[in-house]
Amino acid sequence: MEGQGGCVYRPADGPADDRVLPDQDQAAIHGSIDLHLIAEDENISIDRTVDRDILAEQDHILVEDHPDRDRIALVDLLGVGRCDDAGGQQQTQQQAGECFVDGRFYMGLRLWQWEHSLLYNKLTKAYYSIIHAMILVTGGTGFIGRVLVRQLVESGHNVRMLLRPSPRSPRLPTGVPVEVAVCSLSDTRSLRAAMRGVDTVYHLAGSEGGGGRADLLEVDMHGSRNLAEAAMDARIKRIFYVSHLDADRGSGYPLLKAKGIAEEYIRRSGIPHTILRSSIVFGLGDGFTTGLALLLTFAPGFLPLPAQGKTLVQPLWVEDLVTCLVWALDEPGTINQTYEVGGGEYFTLRQVVETIMQTIQKPRLLFPMSIPLLRALTVVSETVFRRFPASIFWMDYLAANRTCPVDTIPRVFGLMPARFTARLGYLTGIHWRRELLKRLFVPHA
């Protein structure tokens, strides 16, 4: 190579073949890799995004890798080569064609001859799937999403969060390095762009947090359909979806029906998927235990319970649910499976409320109320207070027992779910009356 700052990888057992990748008008989305190439004829650097299939057809290329050289993995796993710098000096390198020129680090990828190409392709694709894979998370600013993003990053994954356009500042996880793509689930073209370089999608976005103002049709149903179509076009390798127990497209409850339809869109996409139908999830910042604590504060000495408070629930700690989602990423046996997951204990709604009363030290008289009347009161309350702690979807969910086998998580994921009463410490030390006033009268930031 003529000029300075360049480095050519030459096979040790053959003549120099100093080609670089040809210009690509538009790289394929699937498995694309961002490369920094050296143009040998112009002695300049060129940024290119190329498809892995194109990469596999080249004899060798020149790549300038990231400045963090301590974390560079050996790329040329087969054979011995040497690097020539601009002055013609040779440096023999075992296994990886690499050298330093003018303080910059270069790595050469050498493809073997035709008879070795299949093995090399597998090794190269495995390398890039581990080092360069990106995970897209929808709903990453929500209660479950923030915990998932944190755990994925702590596990060494690269994460990109999909944020819907909004005039409000998003609640991004603090202290967690992530990429951000601003895109609506109704915009399929933008979704495809957000999936560039992505291998895996965790789909958590939903509208149920909006209560009576939720748009289940556009967000949960059409949004999931658009996401599945974009994932097909982008050749996504895996989709994870968090649904609800008893989700069914034939359900008479709007939320469970919407979740069931969303599940069908994901299954019909043909993309390898894993669906977790979760029981009620609790943890810091949730809508269940925190909502009940606010309702107990709001209640004037008594609190009505639907169905006499005898409905069975199975609270699942958010950290346990997210752990299952992360661990399933490396478990091939979970592909194309739907699991119903819940905590390790069954409680009646009355027992849950009594436990929370004891935790926040706000005793109230509990009495039964018919579900239709309680639903009407909830609708009125949601109309008057935009951020009322309870929603009409609670009435749907608590209209019947919402439980599943307690051994699913230990059997499938090898994890023992946390006990409900042992994980409620986040409810203590909070000025609940102040929190209630902020919830009811302060606009959501």
pLDDT value of position 203: 97
165 plus 33 within the same structural domain: no
Residue 82: band (very low, low, confident or very high) from pLDDT cuts 50, 70, 90: very low
- Given 108, 131, 154, the domain boundary residue is 131
- Number of compact structural domains in the chain: 2
125 plus 23 within the same structural domain: yes
124 plus 205 within the same structural domain: no
Residue 400 is assigned to a structural domain of this protein: no
Residue 268 is assigned to a structural domain of this protein: yes
Query: pLDDT by residue (tens digit) across 322-363?
Result: 999 999 999 999 999 999 999 999 999 999 999 999 999 999
72 plus 189 within the same structural domain: no
206 plus 157 within the same structural domain: yes
Do 343 and 314 form a contact (C-beta atoms < 8 A)?
yes
- Give the residue, 103 or 327, on which the prediction is more confident: 327
- Tell me the mean pLDDT in the region 437-442: 86
102 plus 161 within the same structural domain: no
Chain centroid offset of residue 126 CA: 21
Residue 106: band (very low, low, confident or very high) from pLDDT cuts 50, 70, 90: very low
pLDDT value of position 444: 59
Vertex 329: Cα angle to 324 and 331 (nearest 5): 85
121 plus 227 within the same structural domain: no
Do 432 and 426 form a contact (C-beta atoms < 8 A)?
no
The amino acid occupying position 188 is: T
- Given 103, 131, 159, the domain boundary residue is 131
Q: Which residue segment(s) compose the domain that 57 sits in?
A: 8-131
180 plus 243 within the same structural domain: yes
Residue 332 is assigned to a structural domain of this protein: no
Range in 30-34, 91-95, 216-220, 420-424 the model is least confident about: 91-95
Residue 239 is assigned to a structural domain of this protein: yes
% of the chain residues with pLDDT over 90 = 54
How, if at all, do strands 158-163 and 179-182 pair? parallel
Report the distance separating Cα 21 and Cα 55, nearest Å: 8
- Give the residue, 124 or 414, on which the prediction is more confident: 414
- Given 246, 278, 310, the domain boundary residue is 278
114 plus 66 within the same structural domain: yes
117 plus 251 within the same structural domain: no
137 plus 126 within the same structural domain: no
Provide the CATH number for the domain around residue 169. Answer: 3.40.50.720
138 plus 264 within the same structural domain: yes
Residue 339 is assigned to a structural domain of this protein: no
Distances (CA, A) of 283 to 196, 205, 328, 341: 33, 18, 21, 16
Residue 300 is assigned to a structural domain of this protein: no
Report the distance separating Cα 103 and Cα 130, nearest Å: 27
- Tell me the mean pLDDT in the region 124-151: 79
Q: Quick check: 116 pLDDT over 70? A: no
- Can you give the length of the chain in residues? 445
